[in-house]
Chain A
Amino acid sequence: MDEKVEERRADDLFKEFKETSITEFFRKNKAHLGYSGSIRSLTTVIHEMVTNSLDACEEAGIQPEISIGIKKLGNNHYLVRSEDNGPGIPIKHISGVFGKMLAGTKFHRNIQLRGQQGIGVAGVTLFSQTTTGKPMKIKTSVGKGKVNEIELMIDISRNKADILSNNEYSQYWRGTEIQCELKGVNFTLREQGPFEYLRRTAIVNPHAKITFTDPEGRKTVFERSTDKVPKPPVEIKPHPKGTEVDDLVNMSKITDGRKVSSFLSSTFSRMSNAKANEIQNFINKGEAPFDLNKSPKKLTWAECEQITNAIKEIKFLAPPTEGLQPIGEDQIRNAILNILGPEFEAILTRNPTSHSGGVPFQVEVAIAYGGQAGRNIGEGRKVEVMRFANRTPLLFDSGACALTKSVNSVEWKRYGIKDFDNSAITILVNLVSTYIPYTSAGKQSVADDEAIMKEIRMALMEVGRKYQIFHSRQRRALEKEARKQILMRYSVELAAGLANLTGKDEEKILKKLNTLVLEKLKLEAEIQTLEDDEEEETENGFDDKEGENDSEGGEAENDSGDEESTEKPVEEVEENGA
């Protein structure tokens, strides 16, 4: 009896230990996983749900239609509901998707996926369960006539889904609906809240229709602005450069390769047998040489460190870029026009390049002015910087982020933006990469990387120049209007004066004067447009250095244009003091 009691106790203890360890893991890493603070936790939940839906739709080639609703149940107590028209989840995968921590298929897939952030929707299940003790409600169907309504919780001791109920019925419907209760969260309309998260998500996912109903019952629909569903990204092997020691350790544990050399050449891109030999040679020269013919499973941390050190010294071919999936200039433009309705926008997708010596990345930027651009702060608008990593909005830790720093490093004054902080301007930066160097596991800010920052800066400067042209045109239009006002006002007096001077009819003189003023201004505007076009041509020619040889023909054209335009201003010789 005594023994039995003792056994049971041990069993309980062990069970308790396991239980604490996984809750402990979640508790300890909560902040890193996005569950810190009442505002951020709610945004993270929305992020996990939307990301799941978008990724699933894209992989299935479906135009996503997602609707999110948040309902207030009490103080810091909310009900969150998400619904999509995605491919649905086969019943056998449900447990894995919603009920198993860290089972996400996205870990260690060298693929540009949104889901690189966060720990997946299972984290939502756990968060809901630990704060309310209530299960996750899921309704899903792959569209073949059967719908499953499931309630599940995570069995913490086994890190497995515990399906509480499964109601299967016949209906032709496709998609997934998730519903859960959360406590200790708070809804806000601030920049870090769900609304802003969804607005920004909509901007970088122009193929998605996103509907949001906030706790006040206000419904916002972000319509899709394109029918084109982006192709799912191609999975590519990681490039040796940019591989960290712990990546190598983890990969070495799950490889099927029998030798370290074959593990390396089969795991990495641009890693030929010859390159593996170079690594061997490098290690042989080191302090603790070892043979790459050993089993990868037996690699120690120190040995992996030696390999990564060797990789740093060896040259590799640049990585393939087909794994990158930029949004594209047209798509961003559609989305910006759709959601911000600006007076002016300029978008640029740069060519792919690499950071950390070999990780491919690509930068997309946009600038929008007027309309709904800029952050609304009650009276007027302030500048708004939208940061994205692989299309996922980064809402937190903006100060430490290389994207923010790049934006601030641009001298906006040079592009006609005098008070950058207080301008009705939205700046969008999307960093696309198979590996994004975050500052921390919170994955809300990108670490300083010279190559990335330089690319962003260059891109921003280019759209900045476009803004400048727009801005000076706009300013000229205002000046022209002001001039017209002045001239029209003085015309009345001038006509009276001339009537007195010449004895002619005042009305007639005024009529003639008004015609003259309007005609002159119109003519000037036309000349200005001609000059602007020339300016833009030269601007383009500036970047294109190869075009220099063609300039002879172009110059002749410019000359004739200049003559025409200088003819008018001659009339208005400046008066040299009276």
Chain B
Amino acid sequence: MEREQVIKKINGLGKSIMKNIDDMESPNVSIPQRNINNITFNKSKNLLELGDKKSTRSFMNVAHSKRFMQTVLIAGKCRELVERDKTASIRELYYQLKHTIADSKENTFEDQSESDPLVVDLETMLGTLREELHLKADDKGTLIGNIVIEDSGDFIDCSKLGRSGLSVPSIVEHYKFQDVNADYVLVIETGAMFDRLVEEKYPQKNNCIMVSTKGQAARGCRRLVHRLNHDLGLPAIMFSDGDPWGYYIYSVMKAGSMALAHESRRLGTPQMKFVGMTMDDIDTYDLKKVTENLKDLDKKRISELLRYPWFQKKEWVKQLNLMSEKGVRIEQQALASKSLEFVAEEYLPQKIEKGQLLP
């Protein structure tokens, strides 16, 4: 989207609020709802989509007053950022806007947890992307592999970054992919497993790019995997813990999240496949002794996943039910019970070779 267009959209918001005031109406904005009631799963595209239910945030409603005021402050700051062509992190935004309200002990924002969701509100409300509003989140995620990326005129060879790899920024729109020599992208949940595979020289030996999400994937990470898959046609494979949380990270990578359903199209990678850990691995690789019992919270999460429309594929229903039946979860690093090299030399290459992947 062009900068002028973004500014026009932000200005439109200001005008509509000013019109409310001139008409002696309560100043209000209308925000698409971002909860399960307004999310649909598009089976053919394998993506979460946002419905058209909206809620109104009105200044005269004291339950909304503060958030309404905060939303306007953020919109104003974004307009300033876009006009000055500066990009701020959402943490910087929080500090830029935080101050004490006159004649009170109250701050405009008490905590960053107050401003972060409002940034997403503004994105959905205006139909713009975060980066178009010149905002970015903190860096999270790492990439290593045989790819050269051009970033603002600099060339980064991601195969020559030692063991640390490239830290994935929150905005990757400006990345230009140069030399690529890889067969697929392996997305890894934990940093520890990523490190193990780096040490075993897995990317070199298997000719792939590795990305670590370090827990739930940030937007930058998701957008980058999407682009590697979409722009370069590289297959993407997920490798996570065998528990409901790992499986959910996979579903977010693949189909998108509820909170950012409006961006699923850009952030999701519908063609992604899943290599492990599966419940079947426990028997196949004789890992019974290194499983861990499910906690109440895990069980609760399993039944939640079973209710999500995008988990209704028979393979996934089977995995989740198996997990409930066995009452256990299995971590990626449990494979170390065989040997440190086992994961890199046997488990992953064999499963990927044979195509033992879940959809």
Contacts and interface: CB of A to CB of B under 8 A. Distances in A.
B5 interface: no
Interface in B50-104: 55-69, 72-73, 75-77, 79-80, 101-104
B4 to A, nearest CB: 16
Given A498-B14, A502-B18, A512-B22, A492 B62 contact: no
A501 interface: yes
Given A498-B76, A576-B55, A493 B26 contact: no
B15 interface: yes
Given A572-B60, A575-B64, A500 B35 contact: no
Nearest to B259: A578
Contacts of A496: 73
Question: Which one of A500, A502, A519, A573 has the highest number of Cβ atoms from chain B below 10 Å of its Cβ?
Answer: A502
B21 A513 contact: yes
Contacts of B59: 487, 490, 494
Interface in B4-28: 10-11, 13-15, 17-18, 21-22, 24-28
B2 to A, nearest CB: 20
B63 A501 contact: no
A497 interface: yes
A497 B34 contact: no
B263 interface: no
A493 B73 contact: yes
Interface in A543-578: 571-578
Contacts of B24: 516, 519-520
A498 B104 contact: no
A497 B75 contact: yes
Interface residues of B, number: 50
A486 B63 CA distance: 10
A502 B101 contact: no
Nearest to A519: B24
Contacts of B103: 489
Contacts of B121: 578
Contact of A493 (B11, B62, B64, B101): B101
Interface in A443-489: 483, 486-487, 489
Given A498-B17, A500-B80, A501-B79, A572 B22 contact: no
B321 interface: no
A578 B66 CA distance: 14
B62 A571 contact: no
Given A490-B101, A501-B10, A517 B60 contact: yes
Contacts of A516: 21, 24, 26-27
Given A497-B72, A502-B15, A575 B57 contact: yes
Contacts of B213: none
B251 interface: no
Contacts of B31: 575, 578
Contacts of A512: 21-22
Secondary structure of the B side of the interface?
helix
A483 B27 contact: no
Nearest to A492: B102
Contacts of B77: 500
A126 B174 CA distance: 110
A496 B10 CA distance: 16
A258 interface: no
Interface residues of A, number: 31
A337 interface: no
A504 interface: yes
Contacts of A499: 76
B46 to A, nearest CB: 26
A500 B83 CA distance: 12
A571 B60 contact: yes
Contacts of B127: none
Contacts of B22: 512
A576 to B, nearest CB: 5
B21 A493 contact: no
B14 A501 contact: yes
A509 interface: yes
Contacts of B108: 493
Contact of A576 (B14, B35, B68, B106): B35
Question: Which one of B68, B73, B108 has the highest number of Cβ atoms from chain A below 10 Å of its Cβ?
Answer: B73
A575 B73 CA distance: 19
B117 interface: yes
A572 B61 contact: yes
A519 B77 CA distance: 30
Contacts of A509: 18, 21
Contacts of A572: 26, 56, 58, 60-61, 64
Contacts of A517: 60
A576 B121 CA distance: 13
Contacts of B73: 493, 496-497, 500
B49 to A, nearest CB: 18
A501 B25 contact: no
B240 interface: no
B101 A487 contact: no
B278 interface: no
B60 A487 contact: yes
11 contacts: A487-B60, A490-B66, A493-B69, A497-B69, A498-B72, A501-B13, A501-B72, A513-B27, A520-B26, A576-B55, A578-B117
Interface of A: 483, 486-487, 489-490, 492-494, 496-502, 504, 509, 512-513, 516-517, 519-520, 571-578
Interface of B: 10-11, 13-15, 17-18, 21-22, 24-28, 31, 33-35, 37, 55-69, 72-73, 75-77, 79-80, 101-104, 106, 108, 117-118, 121
Closest 4 CB pairs of A and B: A500-B76, A497-B72, A502-B14, A501-B14
